[in-house]
Amino acid sequence: MKKPFLFSLCCGLLAASLLALPLGAAAADPALPEETAGARDAFIRGVLTVKGEGAAPEGGFSQAQKRLLALRAAKIAAYREITERLDGVAVSGETDVFNASAFSDRVRTSVQGVITGAEVTGEAYDPETGIAAVYLSVSVPEAFGALLPAISGTVPPLPEYRAIAIAQSGPDGLIVDARGTGFKPALLNRIVTAGGEVVYDPSRLTRDTAARGGAPGYTSDLDKARDLLARKGSVNPLVVRASGVSDVSTDIRLGPSDASIVFASNQSGRFLEAARIIFVLD
């Protein structure tokens, strides 16, 4: 006769423990987004996600009011966090978004537009502790498209690369293996030659291309690079190995032969103008 009682007691304790899960357990819920570790992670994943936390105020508030106020505080904290993260994203070389915004009202306005357009992708609230969490996300390609018109004039232009070469038919995309070069992902990653001529400059993309998410992609694996290009419509990508970086770590350098092949292949493939480019990182 004691067994049913003990079984019921155990079940009751188990149910109580499940109901008392803290916010930390809720944050591990797969339904909630994963925070972005840093700029490199954001470029590879194609999204910048941050988490803000807020606490419910003390006093005679109802549970519903405490939840609402805690979530509001968490959202403010998330906006502050995503602003700091965006400010630290490299534009080109040592110039980041914060520096570019300081010298250009147009850049500052564009950045504010990106922040305002951030999407709430998750939220959680723990009534036991009164702590709430709000997740905000910004699409990196969409941010690139929104910022490009403003940031395109923030870096000195380079002479355009020209080559005399037989057109290479077939390639419709480009994979640049930049592993081991110290290459740094940025909003304006250029492909240059050893002579300082530019093979690819994202600041020269048309606004329509940028607005359609025409930004280069980033990954740490060649097979994933091919998959990413396939989503952009490429079925026969050209793969080249970078010889290093230029004077700035955000500009990747190609050797003379590879630069000539890329230039010639693009005459028919037009993959540079469409930003069908993937950089493979360490």
- For 50-59, what is the mean pLDDT? 93
> Angle, to 10 degrees, between the axis of helix 140-151 and the axis of helix 105-116?
160
Distances (CA, A) of 9 to 4, 14, 103: 9, 9, 67
- Looking at the DSSP bridge assignments, the partners of residue 136 are 50, 120
Selected residue with higher pLDDT from 163 and 245: 245
Phi, psi (rounded to 5 degrees) for 158: -115, 155
With bands split at pLDDT 50, 70 and 90, how would you rate the model's confidence at 2?
A: very low
The two structure tokens encoding residue 73: 């505080």
Q: Could you tell me if 190 and 92 are in contact, meaning their C-beta atoms sit under 8 angstroms apart? A: yes
Which pLDDT score is estimated for 16?
Answer: 36
Phi, psi (rounded to 5 degrees) for 143: -65, -40
pLDDT at 182 over 60: yes
- pLDDT per residue over 143-181, tens digit each? 998 898 888 888 888 888 877 555 556 899 999 999 999
Q: Which residues of 102-123 are buried (b: 16+ CB within 10 A; e: fewer)?
A: eebeebbebbeebbeebeeebb
- For 54-60, what is the mean pLDDT? 90
Phi, psi (rounded to 5 degrees) for 223: -65, -40
- The Cα–Cα gap between 111 and 85 comes to 11
Which pLDDT score is estimated for 76?
Answer: 97
Q: On the CB side of 102, how many CA atoms lie within 13 Å of its CA?
A: 7
Write down the domain spans for the chain. Answer: 31-151, 173-280
The two structure tokens encoding residue 31: 């339904």
* Average pLDDT score, the chain: 86
- pLDDT per residue over 18-44, tens digit each? 333 344 434 456 689 999 998 999 999
- Angle in degrees, CA 230, 211, 96, rounded to 5: 95
The one-letter amino acid code at 11 reads C
* Helix (H), strand (E) at residue 82: helix 63-87
With bands split at pLDDT 50, 70 and 90, how would you rate the model's confidence at 68?
A: very high
